[in-house]
Structure 1
Amino acid sequence: MSPAAQFLNGWGSSSIAAEPKPDDEGQPIGINNEYVVGRQIGAGGFSVVKEVIGMDNDGRRTKRAVKIVRKSVANASEAENDKAQQAVDYEIGIWRYLNHPYILQLHTSFITDFATFCIMDLVESGSLYDLLNELRNNGQMGLRPELARTYAHQLASALRYMHADVRLVHRDVKLENCLVQIGPQDDCGSMKLCDFGLASFVDGDSGMADSIRSLDSDDNKDPAGTLEYLAPELLGGSTRKDYSADIWAFGVCVYTMVTGKRPFAHTIQFKLVELIEAGDWNKDLVETSPAGQVACEDICDLLHGCLNTDPDLRWTIADVMDCKWFQGLVDVAADSDWEHVNNTQD
């Protein structure tokens, strides 16, 4: 058979293109199909994050992000898929109540037979972790002074809101969970704390605890969070879920923003644990950093308070907000006119 005949013989015999998945690019999603799925911008575990395009109430085009957790993921067992759905349901149950300028906002969420969808703010500048890595690759260790001070204060403001207003402990504060949105005319931008999958209410005074349960398993004795940011008492087997562990993790974030290095780092895990339990960090790195050359003593005072190995002597978020390094900065969300908890979803 000639090449031409072979071509004509195969014309139309190829299989029909697969039907698009509900979360494929170009597909409409939403309660009323008000969003169109765009390009993928991230993935991890059982979820993917994509852009979505929609319209606001004035008919203007809006760009947001959607976190998608499919009901069934290939190569995962039914139990694993069920656990992923429980985890996202738990996170939504907390996240939907949070409303703060330095917390990533959840606009709405909905569930279909295919997946759970979370529509949230789109942050395109990456995380503080990404920013510090980029600076390190360019030979700069740590953020410039005003940037380190601004982002540290914004993160502290988000934690003050969670601890004092909502009575919620985050339990996974880290640079990777601090997203940064920098506009074209914005020197600093704003930080957005995200990922509330490990968060727990400390008591029932928030008015929300009755409908939220912890996902911690009784047979799982490993501490929740990321090792490099874990407080020493958690490494010793403590199951306490109070605010002090967030303050320690905040201290680790501040030290890293200022110096470009973590206060406790080692490639061998048990050595890292020993360093964390000892609580000794390098003040010389703070002194020689860009921010340290401007306000070394004030920064070190904050770090000594946050990285105290005794959780009962560690600073509270109120102590953090009152520190000398933050003098002159205003916590806008502490204003009585700010709407905190209520009606944050569309």
Structure 2
Amino acid sequence: MDLTIFGLEIGEVIGEGTYSTVRKAFSQKLQKLVAIKIIDKSKLSDNYIAKFLSREVSIFVECSHPNIIKVYQIIESSEHTLFIMEEAKMDLFDLVESQDYFSEEVARSYFKQIAQALEYCHIQRIAHRDIKCENILLTADNIPKITDFGLATCIKGSESCLCSTFCGSAAYTAPEILNGDNYDPFKADIWSLGVVLYVIVTGSMPFDDSDLSKLKELQTQSLKFPLSPTLSACCQNLINVMLEKNPKKRVSINHIVEHQWLEESN
């Protein structure tokens, strides 16, 4: 596809997925640097295009929040879907990796904004289903922004809240999904958000194993996993209530944004 007809000067590749590529670009229309997510439809099934890609497009059209990546334009052709998005300098995982882990003060600043963005989504009845550090981008001003709604689902009206599709990255995925159960996608998002908090304050994964069966075994054991004694009791409590094995006992997003740890001053 010749993108110059849209006033886009294409730059280097900054990310690649199974069916998409993200490139830097300069938009003559916007007179600024942007990122372009180029989705190759030839690599997708008709069902995926109808179900997931169309949903991602509608979510980006509908959503507007300071901590959700802004999409300036969506370009459709028979072969590609392009998302023209605001530029980001790195993802949260890269930042944590460069610093080992965050102090609670720094972590609180990032996490509060991420939680508020997810709260916005849940109020809109949108479950992300792929929350992870790699899907949280940082702008040049260090503002965290949730991106990649390719696996998201929208629960409207009286529709059943339960899902059956396996979604997300295994290390961030809730135990009920790994077990193959029908699951509440909003409670699954909370688990993934708990893993994000664990990662940024410890610099490690709570359940890190490339073997899926081993990962399931680790998750179904006692979830009183070791936390650094240097973490405050309040921070440990927030992690524990999010990484609650029983989804019915797991807290909702509004409880998280109102949690005492997030109310503490930086």
Q: TM-score, normalised by structure 2?
A: 0.88
SS at match of 1:123: coil
Q: Which whole-Å deviations, capped at 9, do the CAs of 1:85-135 have from their partners, x for residues lacking one?
A: 4443331122221111111111110212442211111112x1111122223
Partner of 2:252: 316
Q: Does 1:192 align with 2:145?
A: yes
RMSD: 2.4
Counterpart code for 2:206: P
CA distance in 1, matches of 2:67, 2:168: 21
Q: Is the Cα contact below 8 Å between 1:263 and 1:281 reproduced in 2?
A: no
Map residues 154-173 of structure 1 onto 2, 5 A cutoff. Answer: 154-164=113-123, 166-173=124-131
Note the C-alpha offset of 1:258. Answer: 0.5
Cα separation, partners in 2 of 1:113 and 1:309, compared to 1, 3 Å:
closer
SS at match of 2:82: strand
Q: Is the Cα contact below 8 Å between 2:115 and 2:253 reproduced in 1?
A: yes
Q: Which whole-Å deviations, capped at 9, do the CAs of 1:140-189 have from their partners, x for residues lacking one?
A: 3x11332211111111111110112x111111111111111243xxxxx2
Query: Which of residues 24, 27, 31 is equivalent to 1:61?
Result: 31
Cα separation, partners in 2 of 1:275 and 1:315, compared to 1, 3 Å:
same
Partner of 2:76: 111
Query: Which of residues 21, 28, 31 is equivalent to 2:4?
Result: 28
Counterpart code for 1:264: F
Counterpart code for 1:261: S
Q: Does 1:153 align with 2:89?
A: no
Q: Is the Cα contact below 8 Å between 2:171 and 2:209 reproduced in 1?
A: no
Q: Is the Cα contact below 8 Å between 1:52 and 1:63 reproduced in 2?
A: yes
Map residues 331-346 of structure 1 onto 2, 5 A cutoff. Answer: none
Fraction of identical pairs, as percent: 30
Q: Is the Cα contact below 8 Å between 1:279 and 1:308 reproduced in 2?
A: no
Note the C-alpha offset of 1:313. Answer: 1.1
Partner of 2:22: 49
- Rg larger in structure: 1
Query: Which of residues 131, 151, 175 is equivalent to 2:95?
Result: 131
Q: Which whole-Å deviations, capped at 9, do the CAs of 1:270-290 have from their partners, x for residues lacking one?
A: 1211111225243442x23xx
Note the C-alpha offset of 1:40. Answer: 2.2
SS at match of 1:162: helix
CA distance in 1, matches of 2:67, 2:222: 29
Q: TM-score, normalised by structure 1?
A: 0.69
Counterpart code for 2:134: E
Q: Which whole-Å deviations, capped at 9, do the CAs of 1:29-74 have from their partners, x for residues lacking one?
A: 4xxx233322222221121111221245xxx7211111112344xx
Q: Give the unaligned 5+ runs of structure 1.
A: 1-20, 184-188, 210-215, 331-346
SS at match of 2:261: helix
Q: Which whole-Å deviations, capped at 9, do the CAs of 1:242-289 have from their partners, x for residues lacking one?
A: 41111111111101110001111234321211111225243442x23x
SS at match of 1:204: coil
Q: Is the Cα contact below 8 Å between 1:244 and 1:316 reproduced in 2?
A: yes
Q: Give the unaligned 5+ runs of structure 2.
A: none
SS at match of 2:114: helix
CA distance in 2, matches of 1:271, 1:117: 38
CA distance in 1, matches of 2:195, 2:222: 11
CA distance in 1, matches of 2:152, 2:217: 26
Counterpart code for 2:98: E
Cα separation, partners in 2 of 1:113 and 1:232, compared to 1, 3 Å:
closer
Note the C-alpha offset of 1:241. Answer: 3.2
Partner of 1:247: 190
Map residues 285-324 of structure 1 onto 2, 5 A cutoff. Answer: 285=228, 287-288=229-230, 292=231, 296-324=232-260
